[in-house]
Structure 1
Amino acid sequence: MENNPVAAEDDRARSLRRMRRLSLHLAEPSLLPAERQLATVPCARAKRVSVANPAAFAAYMRGKHWDVQVRVFEFFRSRPDLQTPIEIPMADHRELCLRQLRALVREGGVRPFRYVFEDPGVYFAVAQAAGSVDMSLGIKMGVQYSLWGGSVINLGTQKHKEMFFDGIDNLDYPGCFAMTELHHGSNVQGLQTTATFDIATDEFIINTPNDGAIKWWIGNAALHGKFATVFAKLLLPSQETGGVTDMGIHAFIVPIRDLKTHQTLPGVEIRDCGHKVGLNGVDNGALKFSFVRIPRDNLLNRFGDVSRDGKYTSSLPSVSKRFAAMLGELVGGRVGLGYSSVNVLQLAVTIAVRYSLLRQQFGPPKQPEVCILDYQSQQQKLMPMLASTYAFHFASRYMVENYTEMKKTHDEQIVSDVHALSAGLKSYITSYTAKSLSICREACGGHGYAAVNRFGSLRNDHDIFQTFEGDNTVLLQQVAGDLLKQYKEKFQGGTLSVTWNYLRDSMGTYLSQPNPVTARWEGEDHLRDPKFQLDAFRYRTSRLLQTAAMRLRKHTKTLGSFGAWNRCLNHLLTLAESHIESVILVKFIEAVNNCPDNSTRTVLKLVCDLYALDRIWNDIGTYRNVDYVAPNKAKAIQKLRDYLCFQLRTVAKELIDAFDLPDHVTRAPIAMQSQAYTNYTQQVGFQPEPAPVVL
């Protein structure tokens, strides 16, 4: 074989490049160039960590709207007549829920509707606190102010604000949000209710054309609502054809009950959806309209209007753009649900951890019993969940801040970001919370089954969070679709939105062949390095994104776009969840680095590491299949995860206390911070033991 000097030179150049690249991987992270390092804080190396400054810890967790939540808590603490009993008939619960909301607004001085527009962060804090008192109250507040009120103000114009704002604010105008139909929920564009314009009378005619178009599950409809925002197809008379033209889904204010007599208005048929699995303080109903006439001014016309002579005008050029703009204005519901779900998880974890520290059983031979949180099995049930609760807390706070900024600036980039972020976080957090509620119940044994200890009501009331404001499976598909759009933009030189911007610089790196040296690093400093953790999360997301794009391209050729999407659906759902986990980790790392108190920051770093390593371990098969993690490293990840669970147990009480949820908010006897068993026995009628007589 002839010597080829050019080929030999190419081989030497390739060898040098491989050696330089290998040297970078062999270097300790601290020796890498500064621009390639992530900000880190020292690992908590001691066998036992501690919270040196509990007050600073709680202050960092509270956030800037804690004062208004305390106002809500204290108002209901001062009003025992407004507290929801453990057992209450549905009819009584509904009336109590209305009284709770009226009292808070009219006597407690809390005006949630004003916060919706002046400072959404305050509104979400109020709704979260109200949900802690009674989840039905939190949802009823959301129906009145975020859905009914929000639709009027966000989709309407100044005339609607002048007509309805005060009545919605002070509860003179209780209302409904009538979007979902018997046959259509997530597919809003498929709604069948019609709104036909009558030029002769200058009115819209609202009609339910078939039983599948009956508005269903409408909160406030069964008993209390006087108005409804009805979403319907706008039909305009066509001069060319003599028929009607479908202008797409629009929103209309439809009176459903007389303001004075509260009687159902002509043409409106209302039925009660009846007893539900949970949230029975909310009066869900079904609405059917038979050619109900409303004034033309009742069209919420921010994105599209109809003139007196039946002409349609809009600042947006197409049905699809108008539809997207309308739904974009309603994203606050998803933000609120994700935010409130974190609070439900905090309540459940607080109850389960406090009881696990209280309850003792077994122990070494001839020695005292130990608390059940000292058992590894209990630690591994609850400590990753506690870490996730912290992670969700910071991620949901970021979501609310972004939403608030969006409402102030209406910046298109932020609007796009909030839409996808709220869909992903709402889906991921509510699904995780739903599963965790059952685990918390089981972790508390038989006492977790007692209604007074709240797991049953929390689980039942929260369960629907996975469905309303967008079914979680549908929302994850939206996230996957947005990721694929961003993936395409990356290669076409387009602008990437804030949440996905790591794709711009990192996908090439993450999609390169895993390095065989770093795949074997198993030291604690490496595994607890935020750079390793983020790289692992982003590698998985980038790989899933690339392979999803390839699979869709391949199957589209034979199955079409819908068939290809359906063929790859599980892959796409996993992609969306992987991406959301990455976003959550980024926000947690930022929260750790931004913490001003050294002691708090050290403990938060421990919690953040457990969140990250628990997620990596839960999907270790994926990392092993592509040789991203070698067998020895996988074992090291599992061992460190278990050890971090043990370390977290030593500060579990302090981590729970930092949520700052007082006993009158948690309300579960087994979670009382003092005399828990005394409170529990008194709940079933035992009298407290008399104090010993001192002679």
Structure 2
Amino acid sequence: MYKCDKLCKTYRYIRQCNTNIAKSSILLSNMTSSTKSMTDEELKQYFPDFPSGPLDVYRKNASFDWRKIKMAYESASTIKLKHDIWKFMESNPLFQHSERDLSLDEIRHINVKRMYAIFNENFIPYERIVEDPRLYQAKTEALFMYDSSLSVKISLTFRMFANTIQAIGGPHHYHFVEDVQQGKIGGCFALTEVAHGSNAKGMRTTATYCPETKQFIMHTDDFEAAKFWVGSLGQCATHAIVYAMLISKGKNHGLHTFVVPIRDPQTLKPYPGVVVGDIGKKVGLNGVDNGFVIFNKYAIPKENALDKLGGVDDNGDYKTPFKDPSKRFGASLGALSGGRVHITSISTNYLQKAIVIALRYSAVRRQFGPEGEPETPVLEYQMQQVRLLPHLASTFALRIFCTWFSEMHIKMTVDSLFGNLKNAAELGVEVHALSSASKPVCAWAARDGIQTCREACGGHGYLDAARIGELRNDNDANCTYEGENSLLLQQASNWLLAIWPRRHSLRPEDSILGSLNFLENVDEYLKKTCQLKTVDEFIEPTNIIQIYRWLTAYVLKTSYEKVAELKSLGKDNLQARNESQAYYAATLSVVYGENFILNHFYNTAAQFPDAACRAVLLRLVALYGVCLVEKHLATLYIGGHFSDQQGAQVRAGAVRLCAALAPDAVALADALAPPDFCLRSVLGASDGQAYKHIQNAVMTSPGALTRPSWWKDVVHWRDYVQAKL
């Protein structure tokens, strides 16, 4: 074992600047700390004019500067970092895209080589992340825009492994962080089992403490208890963060975390007592080698338990700094939430690329039009606008929220590392609830948006070269991993339902993030009905926010009453919760997440310094909010908040906002777009030359213009049929 004082250089640096970091608490406002802007000249340096072409007519008539609006979710440092990463990739032969389909083994191989190439560049040393947490998110986004498997692979192998140790480990674990930062080992995160996923408390992998040897004995009773879907474990990882039931002196102390060596770093062969393998080809993300592991009474040192929040002493007696066991679990939820926080942004990255492709192509694709005049771009048609522009508004809302959420979580992790995190348990629970709600909201928004983009591109959207199908397949995992979405909604609603009875006595620490602000004077507010009458009133962002505040409070109140009613009929807690999901608790979690995202989007837009950009951002806020309200019209009428023709006014508002945003749609897509090298879409290239790119893709496709090797089978079979006739 390494001694506690054998820290890596990163930790020595962090300890030196600990005093400065301690002076700043977690950032919980709507604006981030990395707000340094860029001059017009600097922005143009990083984002030069696009090639002239079919998209010029939209770009020249945009009401705002597409470069400036990037600063709603970017900073000077993040823009420079992404630029550096993309330029490195574009100039490196290893990152050139293959013209042929690769085998599964080739996909895995090239992804690992690219991972280590990025790792060796060390674009952002850890100390820079401490100083500017936005950089972590920016690097992830830059990699995702190039290839999602690459970003996931890097995150699992290095970041998630190290972050978990930093969050819930101690100084005697830092040698693992040093080793992974130096590339000596590769990590992974093993929580899910074959028969258990979202129900963490039902996990069956055990870690039984043996005081005589001062070891934990890891064991898997059967295949159903095997750790499964573990990213990077299938072929590469040498160490795993394993969640197992800690058993000592015959007592099960619940789920705890351990650093477990899996393979010899020099040979990649598994250690005795470990059965590890790959789970095979998946629907998408095949550059990530997901695996399984089974332990057969496999011994690890006691020191490998990540015991910052609780563990056993040498004699096997359980110790924890928390008097209340629920506090220990609450504090651990903050660390467990990292994956879900990350996935909110992953989903948004997929949607971001899809909406860019669909909008650029919709501005190029022409169909029908007045007699004797040029055909009309399909973007001008109301149906195309109403299909796509709500997803454009959603992309901006989610991008701005996810950037903040990721930065906040990184700051929380850093403060926890230094012991500067106040109210860790309360914050951990709120982060867990908000991530459990926002992850499904983002993943489903991406799922629905990407599918709409695919269909809105017509038949050409079905081309592999359009890249939308690939986005759809890769994003689909976000709906199930790190917690299946519907089950995650239950975790968020459980917290909210427990909050309702004490809504009048909430303390500031109960909602450090402000996600419970909708409960202020809630009983009086729920008595109000919507007094809006005109379309203009319904598309005013502040009015939409008030409607959504009422909706969130109402669904919480009725969900609580539904559970209470079921219990009064003799249902136990499990039955009552189960029978109150549809139209109650599940909806509650969704609107809770949407409410927070909507408010965050509005606050960011309203504070944007550039007037032209602020105006278009507020129109996007209005469209995002109106479409959310339209989705929940039935509940607003059932609850008595809406009456008469108010629902019709909401729908009219959505149509009006889409028409108002259509002239700016291409410029907004430009603001979201990664370089063409990353987008790789024949339909979404920045020059707008979709048909030339389709022609090139078709004509250069391997085998497109050659006779198939099996041509004789066609001829001989045809001759046989003719002879029979």
Q: Fold conserved (TM > 0.5)?
A: yes
Residue 579 of structure 2 corresponds to residue 573 of structure 1: no
Partner SS for 1:500: coil
Alignment of 1:201-600 (within 5 A): 201-237=213-249, 244-317=250-323, 319-407=325-413, 408=415, 409-412=420-423, 413-492=426-505, 494-495=507-508, 496-497=510-511, 498-514=513-529, 518-519=531-532, 521-524=533-536, 526-557=537-568, 558-570=570-582, 571-600=584-613
In the TM superposition, residue 49 of structure 1 has moved relative to its aligned partner by 8.2
Counterpart among 184, 202, 223 of residue 172 in structure 1: 184
Equivalent residue number for residue 29 of structure 2? none
Q: Which deviates more, 497-506 or 228-237?
A: 497-506
In structure 2, give the amino acid aligned to 1:490.
R
Partner SS for 1:669: coil
* CA distance 1:634–1:305, change in 2 (3 Å): closer
Count of residue pairs brought into register by the alignment = 628
Q: Residue 624 of structure 1 contacts residue 631 of structure 1 at CA under 8 Å; is this kept in 2? A: no
Partner SS for 2:315: coil
In the TM superposition, residue 56 of structure 1 has moved relative to its aligned partner by 2.1
In the TM superposition, residue 318 of structure 1 has moved relative to its aligned partner by 5.2
Q: How far apart in 2 are the matches of 1:550 and 1:494?
A: 23
- In structure 1, runs of 5+ residues without a counterpart are 1-47, 238-243, 688-695
Q: Per-residue displacement from partner, 1:135-180 (whole Å, max 9, x unpaired)?
A: 111111221233322222222210111x212221132201221111
Counterpart among 618, 630, 649 of residue 636 in structure 1: 649
In the TM superposition, residue 660 of structure 1 has moved relative to its aligned partner by 4.4
Q: How far apart in 1 are the matches of 2:273 and 2:202?
A: 23
Counterpart among 653, 663, 680 of residue 694 in structure 2: 680
In the TM superposition, residue 645 of structure 1 has moved relative to its aligned partner by 0.8
Q: Per-residue displacement from partner, 1:168-202 (whole Å, max 9, x unpaired)?
A: 11322012211111111111111111112222222
Residue 160 of structure 2 corresponds to residue 147 of structure 1: yes
* CA distance 1:485–1:612, change in 2 (3 Å): same
In structure 1, give the amino acid aligned to 2:522.
M
Q: Per-residue displacement from partner, 1:76-123 (whole Å, max 9, x unpaired)?
A: 1112322453622111111111111100111x3325766666654321
Q: Per-residue displacement from partner, 1:499-551 (whole Å, max 9, x unpaired)?
A: 33433424133311526xx25x1151x22333321111111111111111111
Q: Which deviates more, 451-460 or 483-492?
A: 483-492
In the TM superposition, residue 124 of structure 1 has moved relative to its aligned partner by 1.9
Q: How far apart in 1 are the matches of 2:363 and 2:128?
A: 39
Residue 677 of structure 2 corresponds to residue 664 of structure 1: yes
Counterpart among 211, 218, 223 of residue 199 in structure 1: 211
* CA distance 1:258–1:299, change in 2 (3 Å): same
Q: Residue 541 of structure 2 contacts residue 621 of structure 2 at CA under 8 Å; is this kept in 1? A: no
Q: Which deviates more, 566-575 or 420-429?
A: 420-429
Q: Which deviates more, 461-470 or 310-319?
A: 310-319
In structure 1, give the amino acid aligned to 2:621.
C
Equivalent residue number for residue 63 of structure 1? 75
Q: Residue 232 of structure 2 contacts residue 291 of structure 2 at CA under 8 Å; is this kept in 1? A: yes
Q: Residue 94 of structure 2 contacts residue 114 of structure 2 at CA under 8 Å; is this kept in 1? A: no
Q: Residue 157 of structure 1 contacts residue 300 of structure 1 at CA under 8 Å; is this kept in 2? A: yes
Q: How far apart in 1 are the matches of 2:167 and 2:593?
A: 28
Q: How far apart in 1 are the matches of 2:61 and 2:505?
A: 49
* CA distance 1:460–1:350, change in 2 (3 Å): same
Max radius of gyration: which structure? 1
* CA distance 1:500–1:254, change in 2 (3 Å): closer
In structure 2, give the amino acid aligned to 1:151.
T
- In structure 2, runs of 5+ residues without a counterpart are 1-59, 702-725
Partner SS for 1:223: coil
Q: How far apart in 2 are the matches of 1:206 and 1:51?
A: 62
Equivalent residue number for residue 48 of structure 2? none
Identical residues among aligned pairs (%): 31
Q: How far apart in 1 are the matches of 2:543 and 2:564?
A: 31
Q: Per-residue displacement from partner, 1:616-655 (whole Å, max 9, x unpaired)?
A: 2222233333443333333222222112111111110111
Question: Aligned-pair RMSD on alpha carbons?
Answer: 2.2
Q: Which deviates more, 563-572 or 622-631?
A: 622-631
